[in-house]
């Protein structure tokens, strides 16, 4: 079943076309990587799907329904969770709170629950707590135990990335969108996260879209790779297919060699 | 390498001293000094005016000698250089004051500045005339500055002792009215007469005794505080909880019993403080938790008070005039306070929704100005002739009955009962704030405050969540307004000026945004000492200058301690985040290294 | 849904009650204004409305007050453009100018300079120059002490600071010069005569002329000088401006200073027009000037001036044209409320201001 289906989407900012007539789809249970040189429109693409930007025209359907015009929170509630390229945690909230707050759209207690400490409220809080610890436990012992009550900003860079993934997981999405999940990580950490991404699908059942520059990760996890350049898909298919595609090689080599 | 006395930064010290001197002159011209000189703190030697004026060179000396030790620099050796740095600053300050004395003597600017004149000359020259006055101001400046600088030389224990002694003497002097009242009430009037001089202020000899007692206590209980804290930390969670419960009950018991031993003045003060605690707790949710800068908060206080007045007053204007309100609502009986309260709360909540809905989508700074606009619109409407047949216009609504609770009527004539009433609502407000802050909604507020777009991307409906904070704040303000109407017995538009909003904002910021105990302490200290917009505090002489001090306090807090004096742990971390990251960087920890923490726990 | 829609329609959703409520408020506001206008038109048609002379008077008063709002609004607008925060204390800078105008004009009056034609013009120039100096110094001092240390802070921190500065300055001036309202000396009689076929009072003409000249001067400064270019560059992007070799710090100070100078001119004009100033003079004009800046689009200098004129007009005309026909008594009391209502209404329909600024998503605090 097609989970996410994007048809003929175009968006431009002040004359600059960031995404040009793009078609894209994700099947349920797939892991798709989106790659492309810097400025290819990858993050704009994520923002379009998660409602931070509205397309000029085109269609975006999730589970067969249009999500254009929905607020970001409504899209999250429909089942799309994301991380940000430049890690945006709630730095002063504790690690536990960061993950608890992400379950907002899956829970419902409002005023009366907390004020009268109703049974439903206590049960929901306990459930939120349980879910949070479970999600954090996915990354091993790093984010649990005494860490639970530490503010998020004390974490190392790699752990912040992990916490951000945990926070996206806690929104209980069907589609998980990771924006450069291993940027800034060392090879060991990258290898570990590569494994975990596999588990996210096999154990947690998420469908995953990844933006990534690290080609080893892309090679190891993706079912399919889509290459964007100047807002246009220039190639898609298996990693091997894409990595030898002449347009892709040109897009990368035609630019700064410094690109990973 | 140890550094000699010549190593001090004389230019910086002079600069600080010049600022301090200008500050003193400014204080003099504004009237702090002469205006406060009537109030004695310690009978013959220290008046409130001089306390202010003399603190400046002292602080200047302290700051001048306070050297920033950068990472990797050697901690400079403490010693005579601190005294010297402080002394130079004090001397420079004295020089400014001395020069000002000359100007004051030569020119007459009293046509423009009412404070210009001989009284000011007397204050700064210690009544010794210009010539001697200059010498004195130089000497006093230098000596005080050196003392200030000398603080750095003292050992930590000595600093602690000095602080305790200083604070206890000053507290006793400032609390004169309270102590006097308390002692009188428990039949120890004679002790109060001994303690305080007839003209006000601690008498000299008792002041010395207080110093002695404070010293003895400070030495006797040295380290006990840390010990207690360690003990508390060592307890397991269950024991801590039990201990907290005990403390809570003790606090409640004190709140119930204490007013019995206090007289009218102090109970009145406590009741006023309570009203502001209520307001501050409400604004704390809006500003501190959800990060919405509402500077028209007084509007909800006003609506609460007016709604209560309209519903409960038999002689309310709308009942007496042949107005639309009268004909349409003549069936509405005069309601008792308790029955009217739910209506008032709902009505204020609705006004909150009405104001909140259009503003909540605006960016922070626009929101601030527009809420201010709404606050003024509401006040101007209350003031207008248009609504005066209903709301009384500038005459307001008078003869508002008190709160009838069956056994007695609580109104302004019995501040003790008012205090108890306020205390009940403060407890309620604390409970509501605490429960909401730790709930799902409270977490969402915090996320919005930290990063609104991301909070939205994480599934939080930011519009309704913020609106909810706004309305909750309005509801808490309506409690305060409802009690205010019954307590004062009348409501006038001019009780609800913009400056009320600003004072509440200062209270919340000084106490520490988002921090319930901090906000309460902030209200007690500020409203207690300086007083509210119309209500006098313990230092009633301040009434003329308190707004000036509130303004200065707001700027100072934002510049130096944006997290508030009693900070919430989380908020502190937020505001010093960058410093912490920098420290971590200096220590050579780089992002990306596993195991791992880039920053030690703040 | 067609594929060519520029702004996609919002899908019906659960939290729509907020939007519905907002729409209801908007419709209510529009209806109120509409009914008021209709009543006014009916009244005029019935021949019992305002006379032509009264309407002309309202316009002249509105425009001359609006010119001052416009001058003050420039300061808000420029600082907002460069630093992105509302300098709440700007109204107090205006007040400082007005206070200095009181002192210098009184001194000049006592020395016989406040009469005749040449003498009066010279005296006025002196008063203006001193007010400009005082306001500029005040604003530079504020920037240095209160705002510069906070340049990297979250956006609300400098805003709260500026509220504190405003409160402090108000009360400092109250303490320094006493609470009584100060009266400026009356201008010579030829100033209060009425001129031109519109029969405008001399002082009002003077106000309009000085405002126009200052505005033109500012325009030349911003558009034609190197410093002005630097200001525009810093407003566009501080970092890139710095990379281009522009001294960002100095440019920010200049921006504050120029805004302060305009406020100083406005302060003197205020004194001339109303002949009374006090420590609280700055508050209302300050807020109204901010409203003017929002109407004209913050960052847009011509817009600020136009916004000021428009606000002055609306404030002067609307109570009599919309409120009075609705049967509301003593509408002049509601003049200030109308000015605030204009601000609320504009932001009710356009939450980011009439011209909706362009801000990067990162910058949207």
Cα angle for residues C35, C38, C44 (degrees, 5° grid):
140
Query: What is the percent of chain C with per-residue pLDDT over 90, rounded to a whole number?
Result: 49
Both structure tokens of C360:
């990067």
| pLDDT given at position B567 | 58
Cα angle for residues A130, A135, A136 (degrees, 5° grid):
100
What's the Cα-to-Cα distance from C227 to each of B498, B503, C136, C246, rounded to whole Å? 38, 40, 17, 9
Decide if B332 is inside a domain: yes
Q: Which pLDDT band, with edges at 50, 70 and 90, does C359 fall under?
A: very low
Identify the DSSP state of A151: B
How many domains does one find in chain B?
A: 4
Both structure tokens of C118:
């040449």
| pLDDT given at position B70 | 55
Decide if B510 is inside a domain: no
How many domains does one find in chain A?
A: 1
Domain match, B345 and B445 both: yes
**Cα dihedral across residues B430, B434, B440, B443: positive or negative:** positive
List of E strands, chain A: 2-13, 16-27, 31-35, 57-62, 65-66, 80-82, 175-179, 207-211, 224-229, 232-237
Measured between beta carbons, the chain A residues lying within 8 angstroms of B436 are: 111, 114-115
Helix ranges restricted to H, A79-229: 95-101, 112-116, 119-137, 157-170, 187-202, 215-221
Q: Are the C-beta atoms of residues C148 and C74 closer than 8 Å to each other? A: no
Decide if C8 is inside a domain: no
Would the ipTM clear 0.85, i.e. be above it?
yes
CATH number of residue C109's parent domain: 1.10.3470
Decide if C154 is inside a domain: yes
Q: Is residue A82 over pLDDT 70? A: yes
As a whole number, mean pLDDT of residues B30-36 equals 83
Measured between beta carbons, the chain C residues lying within 8 angstroms of A68 are: 1, 8, 11
> Among all residues of chain A, which has the CA nearest to that of B576?
A92
Among residues B497, B524, B553, which one ends one of the domains? B497
Average predicted confidence (pLDDT) for chain C = 86
| pLDDT given at position B34 | 81
Decide if A36 is inside a domain: yes
Chains near B (3 or more Cβ pairs under 8 Å): A, C
Measured between beta carbons, the chain B residues lying within 8 angstroms of C166 are: 551
As a whole number, mean pLDDT of residues B72-88 equals 76
Domain match, B369 and B475 both: yes
| pLDDT given at position B601 | 36
Of the candidates B293, B443, B579, B434, the residue with the CA atom closest to the CA atom of residue A93: B443
Q: Which pLDDT band, with edges at 50, 70 and 90, does A250 fall under?
A: confident
Q: Is residue B596 over pLDDT 70? A: no
State chain A's maximal CA–CA distance in angstroms.
66
Chains near A (3 or more Cβ pairs under 8 Å): B, C
Decide if B433 is inside a domain: yes
As a whole number, mean pLDDT of residues C249-272 equals 95
Q: Is residue B42 over pLDDT 60? A: yes
Measured between beta carbons, the chain A residues lying within 8 angstroms of B598 are: 154-157
A67 burial level (CB within 10 Å; 0-12, 13-18, 19+): buried
Domain match, B296 and B420 both: yes
pLDDT single digits (tens) B221-237: 887 878 887 888 787 77
Cα angle for residues B44, B159, B538 (degrees, 5° grid):
45
pLDDT single digits (tens) C52-71: 788 888 899 999 999 999 99
What is the number of other CB atoms lying within 10 angstroms of the CB of residue B118? 11
| pLDDT given at position B523 | 93
> What CA–CA distance (Å, rounded) separates B244 from B246?
5
Of the candidates A171, A242, A157, A179, the residue with the CA atom closest to the CA atom of residue A206: A171
Q: Which pLDDT band, with edges at 50, 70 and 90, does C31 fall under?
A: very high
pLDDT single digits (tens) C138-147: 999 999 999 9
Q: Are the C-beta atoms of residues B303 and B481 closer than 8 Å to each other? A: yes
Decide if B89 is inside a domain: yes
> What CA–CA distance (Å, rounded) separates C162 from C86?
8
Both structure tokens of B65:
């000698």
Nearest to B601 among A92, A100, A154 (CB): A154
Chain B from 114 to 143: CB within 8 A of any A CB: none
| pLDDT given at position A258 | 46
Would you call A115 and B458 a contact, using CB atoms and an 8 Å cutoff? no
| pLDDT given at position B575 | 53
Domain match, B206 and B60 both: no
Of the candidates C153, A6, C20, the residue with the CA atom closest to the CA atom of residue B560: C153
Average predicted confidence (pLDDT) for chain B = 85
Decide if C249 is inside a domain: yes
As a whole number, mean pLDDT of residues A179-185 equals 91
Q: Is residue B520 over pLDDT 60? A: yes
Q: Is residue B73 over pLDDT 80? A: no
CB-facing half-sphere around the CA of A130: CA atoms within 13 A:
6
Measured between beta carbons, the chain B residues lying within 8 angstroms of C158 are: 558
Decide if C13 is inside a domain: no
B300 touching C (Cβ < 8 Å): no
User: Which residues lie below 8 Å from residue B178, measured CB to CB, with a gap of 6+?
Assistant: B262, B266, B269, B538
Domain match, B314 and B441 both: yes
| pLDDT given at position C93 | 97
Q: Which pLDDT band, with edges at 50, 70 and 90, does C170 fall under?
A: very high
> What CA–CA distance (Å, rounded) separates B284 from C249?
35
Of the candidates B474, B302, B526, B310, the residue with the CA atom closest to the CA atom of residue B397: B310
Among residues B497, B519, B554, which one ends one of the domains? B497
How many domains does one find in chain C?
A: 1
> What CA–CA distance (Å, rounded) separates C231 from C239?
13
A37-46, A68-77, C3-12, C133-142: range with lowest mean pLDDT: C3-12
C327 burial level (CB within 10 Å; 0-12, 13-18, 19+): exposed
Query: What is the percent of chain B with per-residue pLDDT over 70, rounded to a whole number?
Result: 90
Residue B410 host element (H or E): strand B409-410
User: Which residues lie below 8 Å from residue B93, measured CB to CB, with a gap of 6+?
Assistant: B17, B18, B20, B21, B24, B56, B57, B60, B141, B145
Q: Is residue C15 over pLDDT 70? A: no
CATH number of residue A192's parent domain: 3.40.50.300
Of the candidates C215, C242, C216, the residue with the CA atom closest to the CA atom of residue C82: C242
What range defines the domain where residue C283 resides?
25-43+52-355
Q: Is residue A257 over pLDDT 50? A: no
Q: Report which of residues B600 and B129 the model is more confident about.
A: B129
Q: Are the C-beta atoms of residues A48 and A18 closer than 8 Å to each other? A: no
> What CA–CA distance (Å, rounded) separates B466 from B460?
10
Decide if A62 is inside a domain: yes
Nearest to B440 among A104, A153, A155 (CB): A104
Domain match, B367 and B455 both: yes
> What CA–CA distance (Å, rounded) separates B17 from B94?
8
As a whole number, mean pLDDT of residues C79-83 equals 86
| pLDDT given at position C294 | 85
| pLDDT given at position B278 | 95
pLDDT single digits (tens) B453-463: 999 999 999 99
What range defines the domain where residue A237 resides?
2-79+173-253
User: Which residues lie below 8 Å from residue C133, measured CB to CB, with a gap of 6+?
Assistant: C264
pLDDT single digits (tens) B245-273: 898 899 888 888 888 888 888 888 999 99
As a whole number, mean pLDDT of residues A56-60 equals 91
Decide if B231 is inside a domain: no
Q: Which pLDDT band, with edges at 50, 70 and 90, does C296 fall under?
A: confident
Would you call A52 and B599 a contact, using CB atoms and an 8 Å cutoff? no
Compute the nearest-CA separation of B289 from chain A (Å).
12
| pLDDT given at position C248 | 92
C10 touching A (Cβ < 8 Å): yes
> What CA–CA distance (Å, rounded) separates B447 from B443?
6
> What CA–CA distance (Å, rounded) separates C166 from C148?
16
Would you call B374 and C18 a contact, using CB atoms and an 8 Å cutoff? no
Q: Which pLDDT band, with edges at 50, 70 and 90, does C11 fall under?
A: very low
| pLDDT given at position B186 | 83
| pLDDT given at position A140 | 87
State chain C's maximal CA–CA distance in angstroms.
78
Chain C from 260 to 319: CB within 8 A of any B CB: 283, 287, 290, 294
Distance between start and end Cα atoms, chain A:
34
C345 touching B (Cβ < 8 Å): no
Q: Which pLDDT band, with edges at 50, 70 and 90, does B602 fall under?
A: very low
> Among all residues of chain B, which has the CA nearest to that of C80?
B365
A182-186, A203-207, B77-81, C301-305: range with lowest mean pLDDT: B77-81
Compute the nearest-CA separation of C363 from chain A (Å).
14
pLDDT single digits (tens) B318-371: 888 877 777 788 888 889 999 999 999 999 999 999 999 989 888 888 899 899
What's the Cα-to-Cα distance from A151 to each of B333, B336, B580, C217, rounded to whole Å? 55, 49, 13, 53
Decide if C59 is inside a domain: yes
Domain match, B186 and B140 both: no
What range defines the domain where residue B427 resides?
259-497
């Amino acid at each position: 079943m097609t989970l996410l289906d994007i048809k003929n989407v175009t968006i431009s900012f002040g004359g600059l076309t960031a995404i040009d007539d793009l078609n894209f789809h994700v099947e349920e249970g797939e892991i798709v990587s989106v790659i492309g040189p810097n400025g290819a429109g990858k993050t704009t693409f994520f923002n379009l799907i998660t409602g931070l930007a509205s397309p000029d025209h085109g269609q975006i359907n999730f589970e067969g329904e249009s999500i254009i015009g929905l607020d970001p929170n409504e899209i999250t509630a429909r089942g799309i969770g994301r991380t940000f390229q430049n890690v945006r945690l709630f730095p002063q909230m504790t690690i536990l709170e960061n993950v608890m707050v992400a379950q907002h759209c899956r829970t419902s207690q409002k005023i009366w629950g907390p004020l009268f400490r109703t049974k439903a409220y206590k049960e929901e809080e306990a459930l939120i707590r349980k879910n949070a610890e479970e999600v954090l436990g996915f990354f091993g012992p790093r984010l649990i135990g005494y860490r639970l009550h530490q503010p998020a900003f004390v974490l190392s860079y790699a752990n912040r990335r992990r916490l951000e993934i945990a926070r996206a997981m806690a929104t209980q999405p069907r589609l998980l969108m990771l924006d450069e999940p291993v940027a800034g990580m060392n090879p060991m950490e990258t290898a570990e996260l590569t494994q975990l991404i596999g588990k996210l699908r096999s154990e947690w059942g998420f469908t995953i879209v990844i933006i990534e520059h690290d080609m080893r990760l892309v090679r190891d996890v993706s079912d399919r790779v889509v290459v964007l350049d100047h807002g246009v898909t220039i190639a898609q298919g298996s990693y091997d297919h894409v990595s030898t595609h002449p347009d892709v090689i040109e897009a990368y080599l035609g630019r700064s060699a410094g690109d990973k | 390498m140890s550094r000699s006395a010549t190593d001090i930064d004389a230019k910086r010290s002079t600069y600080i001293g010049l600022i301090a001197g200008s500050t003193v002159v400014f204080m003099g011209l504004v009237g702090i000094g002469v205006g406060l000189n009537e109030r004695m703190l310690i009978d013959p030697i220290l008046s409130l005016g001089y306390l202010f004026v003399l603190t400046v060179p002292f602080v200047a000396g302290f700051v001048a000698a306070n050297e920033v030790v950068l990472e990797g620099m050697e901690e400079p050796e403490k010693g005579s250089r601190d005294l010297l740095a402080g002394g130079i600053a004090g001397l420079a300050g004295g020089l400014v004051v001395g020069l000002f004395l000359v100007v004051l003597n030569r020119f007459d600017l009293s046509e423009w500045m009412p404070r210009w004149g001989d009284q000011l000359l007397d204050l700064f020259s210690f009544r010794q005339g210009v010539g001697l006055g200059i010498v004195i101001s130089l000497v006093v400046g230098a000596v005080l500055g050196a003392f200030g600088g000398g603080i750095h030389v003292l050992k930590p224990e000595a600093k602690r002792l000095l602080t305790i002694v200083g604070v206890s003497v000053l507290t006793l002097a400032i609390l004169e009215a309270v102590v006097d009242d308390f002692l009188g009430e428990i039949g120890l009037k004679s002790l109060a007469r001994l303690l305080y001089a007839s003209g006000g202020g601690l008498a000299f000899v008792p002041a010395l005794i207080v110093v002695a007692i404070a010293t003895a206590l400070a030495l006797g209980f040295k380290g006990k505080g840390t010990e207690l804290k360690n003990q508390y930390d060592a307890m397991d969670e269950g024991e801590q909880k039990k201990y907290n419960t005990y403390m809570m009950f003790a606090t409640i018991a004190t709140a119930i019993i204490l007013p019995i031993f206090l007289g009218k003045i102090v109970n009145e003060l406590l009741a006023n403080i309570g009203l502001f605690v209520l307001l501050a707790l409400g604004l704390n949710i809006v500003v501190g938790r959800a990060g919405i800068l509402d500077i028209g908060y007084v509007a909800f206080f006003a609506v609460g008070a007016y709604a209560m007045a309209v519903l409960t007053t038999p002689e309310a204007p709308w009942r007496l005039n042949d107005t639309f309100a009268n004909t349409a609502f003549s069936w509405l009986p005069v309601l008792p306070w308790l029955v009217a309260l739910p209506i008032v709360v709902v009505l204020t909540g609705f006004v909150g929704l009405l104001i909140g809905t259009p503003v909540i989508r605006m960016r922070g700074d626009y929101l601030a100005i527009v809420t201010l606009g709404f606050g003024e619109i509401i006040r101007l409407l209350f003031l207008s002739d248009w609504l005066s047949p209903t709301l009384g216009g500038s005459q307001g609504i008078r003869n508002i009955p008190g709160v009838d609770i069956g056994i007695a009527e609580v109104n302004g004539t019995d501040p003790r009962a008012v205090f108890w009433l306020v205390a009940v609502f403060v407890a309620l407000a604390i409970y509501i704030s605490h429960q909401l802050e730790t709930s799902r909604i409270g977490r969402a507020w915090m996320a919005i405050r930290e990063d609104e777009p991301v909070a939205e991307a994480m599934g939080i409906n930011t519009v309704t969540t913020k609106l909810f904070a706004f309305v909750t704040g309005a509801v808490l303000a309506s409690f305060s307004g409802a009690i205010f109407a019954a307590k004062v017995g009348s409501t006038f538009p001019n009780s609800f000026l913009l400056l009320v909003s600003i004072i509440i904002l200062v209270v919340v910021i000084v106490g520490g945004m988002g921090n319930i105990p901090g906000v309460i302490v902030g209200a007690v200290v500020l409203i207690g000492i300086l007083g509210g917009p119309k209500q006098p505090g313990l230092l009633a002489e301040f009434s003329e200058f308190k707004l000036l001090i509130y303004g200065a306090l707001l700027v100072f807090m934002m510049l130096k301690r944006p997290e508030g004096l009693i900070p919430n742990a989380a908020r502190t971390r937020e505001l010093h985040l960058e410093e912490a990251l920098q420290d971590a960087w200096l220590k050579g920890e780089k992002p990306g290294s596993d195991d791992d923490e880039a920053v030690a726990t703040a | 849904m067609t594929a060519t829609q520029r702004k996609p329609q919002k899908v019906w959703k659960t939290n729509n009650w907020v939007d519905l409520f907002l729409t209801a408020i908007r419709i209510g506001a529009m209806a109120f204004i509409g009914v008021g206008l209709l009543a006014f038109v009916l009244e005029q048609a019935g021949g019992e409305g305002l006379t032509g002379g009264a309407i002309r008077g309202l316009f002249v008063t509105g425009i001359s007050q609006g010119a001052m709002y416009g001058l003050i609004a420039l300061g808000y607008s420029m600082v907002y453009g460069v630093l992105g925060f509302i300098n709440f204390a700007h109204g107090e800078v205006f007040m400082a100018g007005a206070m200095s105008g009181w002192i210098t004009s009184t001194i000049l009056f006592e020395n016989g300079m406040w009469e005749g034609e040449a003498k009066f013009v010279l005296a006025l120039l002196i008063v203006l120059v001193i007010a400009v100096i005082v306001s500029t110094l005040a604003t530079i001092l504020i920037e240095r002490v209160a705002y510069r240390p906070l340049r990297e802070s979250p956006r609300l921190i400098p805003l709260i600071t500026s509220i504190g500065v405003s409160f402090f300055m108000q009360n400092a001036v109250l303490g320094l010069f006493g609470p009584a309202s100060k009266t400026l000396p009356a201008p010579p009689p030829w100033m209060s005569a009425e001129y031109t076929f519109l029969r405008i009072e001399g002082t009002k003409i003077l106000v309009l002329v000085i405002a126009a000249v200052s505005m033109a001067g500012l325009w030349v400064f911003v558009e034609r000088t190197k410093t002005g270019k630097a200001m525009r560059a810093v407003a566009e992007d501080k970092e890139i401006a710095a990379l281009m070799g522009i001294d960002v710090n100095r440019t920010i100070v200049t921006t504050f200073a120029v805004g302060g100078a305009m406020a100083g001119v406005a302060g003197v004009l205020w004194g001339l027009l109303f002949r009374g100033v006090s420590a609280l003079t700055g508050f209302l004009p300050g807020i109204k000037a901010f409203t003017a800046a929002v109407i004209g689009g913050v960052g847009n200098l011509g817009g600020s001036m136009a916004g000021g004129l428009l606000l002055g007009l609306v404030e002067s005309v609307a109570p009599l044209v919309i409120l009075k026909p609705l049967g509301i008594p003593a509408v002049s009391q509601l003049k200030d409320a109308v000015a605030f209502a204009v601000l609320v209404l504009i932001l009710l329909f356009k939450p980011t201001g009439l011209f909706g600024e362009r801000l990067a998503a990162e910058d949207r605090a």
